[in-house]
Structure 1
Amino acid sequence: MIADLPTQEKERLAELRNYALLDTLPEDEYDDLATIAAEICGTPISLISLVDEDRQWFKANHGLDGVKQTSRGNAFCAHNILDPENMLIVPDAHQDERFADNDFVTGNPNIVFYAGVPLVTDAGFALGSLCVIDTVPRELTSAQLKALKALGRQTIKLFELRRARKLSEERLVDMELFRKRLLDFNHVIAHDLKAPLRNINQLVNIALDEYRTLLPADGVEVLNMLSAVAADANRLVQGVLHYSSSVHQIGSERNEFPVADLLTSFGSLFKELTPYQINYVGPVKRVFAPETALRQILQNLIGNAIKFCDKDRAIITVSCVRTEKAYVFTVRDNGPGIPEPLRKSIFSLFYSTAAKNGHSEESHGVGLSIVSELVKAMGGELSVESEMVEGSLFRFTVPVA
């Protein structure tokens, strides 16, 4: 007897395809469950089957060597999925009118006993069965039935994990496509906005050079304000580009390198700023971490410490200790410190205290935002401690691989 179609068969088949299990390669996790089911129930055959539109396909096969699928018309599991809430148990197929003339009963593999657990998704659709099969009549004990149900639950959990992984991979692809589009958009913005802003600034300078003496004082002031606004807009455009490229180019590759050499490689990078001294006090000498990300983080923290220092000489002390789970870096400076109400705001995009310290022309307000995003991307944590006049201490962690 051919099984009836389940109610909502169209939706059930759509759910089956959403799991992307059909025609996949064998996997040890599923094979192990089928083997355990056969051992517990003492049967020569155990299967994890999925009931497709016109076939049943085996994700795991213990005991039917070389058989990957059969027709749906002969499938015991096609009957099993009709009642998702209950197991189908056939003690003797020869005595069951549904299966007595079934090709798999009258011929190879000579099925006599069948017990199957419907594999039901959270949405209530039975995709197939975890079943055990024997060639002689038999019954299962209550303990065996309980164990078979437990294995069925583990099977559906593997299905869910596989679908979650598939969705995650699809989202990663979407995110990568979005990232590329964002970078392209940023470059278009840079090209289309920087040139007009530069032209505005040049025209203002020409007007000031040629007509300064002819303009009233408030007219000159307006032109100076226009020049400042154009320069500020240009810094924002540069900031967007710098933020995007820094955060999205972090990568996940790690390599081993000396921390002191990384700091030394900064060389004269900040030579045009306040005289400075960078001290590395260890105790960790070498780290295994994403070097590009760590370089960006330290470069931004040290650069800010030098740029906004209110002393004759900026002194920056860097340390790194290793715990069981992470490298813990600290960057301490001797700058003016950060008022307590501002310590959370400083990590926001485009937020800057530069104007308050007379450095507005040097800052686009993205440095600490980049630091925050890079630390998060590596799975670390970032914090700041500060005392007015005495300076600030930034602490961040890099998880051990």
Structure 2
Amino acid sequence: MQDKLIDDEEIRLALLRGYNILDTAPEEGFDEIARLAGEICGTPIALVSLVEKDRQWFKAVQGLDVTETPIQMSICAHAIQSGDYLEVQDTTNDPRTAANPLVTGDEQIRFYAGALLTSADGVALGTLCVLDRVPRVLTEMQRTTLKILAKQVMRHLELREALGAAEMLRREVDHRVKNSLQALEALIRIQTRSVKTNEAREALEAVQGRLAMVSNLHEALYLSDAGAMVNLSGFLDRVVQTASAQMPQGIHVRHQVEPCKLQSRAASAVGMIVNEAIANAAKYAFEGRDKGAFDITGKIEGESYVLICADDGGPPAAGGVQTIVGTGLGMRIMQAAAQQLGAS
């Protein structure tokens, strides 16, 4: 097999590598198409084969114990070179395949049929192919079906590429938003140093804390591999680390949160509740005290997720538990966040 399969071989190879599919793990969608192709064509072997310069690599393999072969063993490369569907009914009688190690060696391949995997620009990247160890002839229905399934492989590739591009864009947006929020935090921090009244200082610090919570959310999204889903445990680690800096010296913030995957909007609401609870406790709960604790626990109970923010500050209460219902901005924010979650 010649190194150069088509006139614009470098363009073909660049396009193939642009899909970021080579050497990736098996995926069920591709495996199912290969399996279906083999069943319809009545062959023991079916492959989704992508042809590189020096090798052919199999995204899906049915009936063989290899994931790639050297280009010299690639019958699919002949299909790309021909620019059309290729069917070799007896490989020992075709000069293109008679000396191929797959034909003369242990595999004893005697039949090959491959439908091109063609991009929207008409460039062939590989084939969906079926092979057998005995000569055979496909019916017109089998040939047509193989070509249709090859188009489905390309749709999978294109969808995979589009999702990858969308994920990169999302990560870039989250990264930029996080950086913008951190810059705004820094500006507020500088402004806080110059204000004259405690009331104004407290208001600016509250805004800074809320910005930090949202910044933490975007950092969690940027680092996540789960798209718009956030691991609540890791996210709250960041929220607590930032917000607990508001606590008076000697007050310990402890948290034990079971992992739970949440949509980013829901995670934002939970983060807002925790941030406001810590901020309110720091402001009101521990006045005149040099010791205390604020505990955050999250756990799954049946079909619900129970989140508890509790401190041991404030005046003693009958039964050892004191519940304070406030009417300030922090409490209103927590109530609104709970409503957004559909929580009670």
Shorter-chain TM band = 0.5 to 0.7
For residues 22 and 193 of structure 1, what CA distance do their matches in structure 2 show? 52
Which has the greater radius of gyration?
1
Unaligned 5+ segments in structure 2 are 218-228, 234-262, 277-328
Select which of 68, 90, 93 maps to 1:92: 90
Task: Report the counterpart of residue 63 of structure 2 in structure 1.
Answer: 63
2:115·2:127 contact (CA, 8 Å) conserved in 1? yes
Task: Report the counterpart of residue 11 of structure 1 in structure 2.
Answer: 11
Amino acid paired to 2:16:
L
Task: Report the counterpart of residue 121 of structure 1 in structure 2.
Answer: 119
Task: Report the counterpart of residue 75 of structure 2 in structure 1.
Answer: 76
Task: Report the counterpart of residue 44 of structure 2 in structure 1.
Answer: 44
Amino acid paired to 1:290:
A
Deviation, 1:140, is 1.0
For residues 78 and 56 of structure 1, what CA distance do their matches in structure 2 show? 8
For residues 103 and 399 of structure 1, what CA distance do their matches in structure 2 show? 64
Task: Report the counterpart of residue 145 of structure 2 in structure 1.
Answer: 147
Deviation, 1:58, is 1.1
Relative to structure 1, the CA distance from residue 3 to residue 254 in structure 2 (aligned partners, 3 Å threshold; closer, same or farther) is closer
Deviation, 1:241, is 4.8
For residues 141 and 15 of structure 1, what CA distance do their matches in structure 2 show? 32
Task: Report the counterpart of residue 180 of structure 1 in structure 2.
Answer: 178
Structure 2 counterpart SS, 1:115:
strand
1:22-51 CA-partner distances (Å, limit 9, x unpaired): 222222222221111111001121111111
Relative to structure 1, the CA distance from residue 43 to residue 295 in structure 2 (aligned partners, 3 Å threshold; closer, same or farther) is closer
Relative to structure 1, the CA distance from residue 253 to residue 70 in structure 2 (aligned partners, 3 Å threshold; closer, same or farther) is closer
2:115·2:150 contact (CA, 8 Å) conserved in 1? yes
Unaligned 5+ segments in structure 1 are 203-230, 256-287, 301-362, 376-395
Task: Report the counterpart of residue 266 of structure 2 in structure 1.
Answer: 290
Deviation, 1:290, is 3.0
Structure 2 counterpart SS, 1:82:
helix
Deviation, 1:63, is 1.2
1:189·1:237 contact (CA, 8 Å) conserved in 2? no
Identity within the alignment, %: 37
For residues 271 and 25 of structure 2, what CA distance do their matches in structure 1 show? 42
1:4·1:79 contact (CA, 8 Å) conserved in 2? no
TM-score by length of 2: 0.59
Say whether 1:189 aligns with 2:187. yes
Relative to structure 1, the CA distance from residue 124 to residue 397 in structure 2 (aligned partners, 3 Å threshold; closer, same or farther) is farther
For residues 10 and 3 of structure 1, what CA distance do their matches in structure 2 show? 11
Amino acid paired to 1:72:
I
The root-mean-square deviation of aligned C-alpha atoms, in Å, is 3.9
Amino acid paired to 1:135:
R
Deviation, 1:102, is 2.1
Relative to structure 1, the CA distance from residue 189 to residue 13 in structure 2 (aligned partners, 3 Å threshold; closer, same or farther) is same
Amino acid paired to 2:151:
R
Structure 1 counterpart SS, 2:21:
coil
Amino acid paired to 1:37:
A
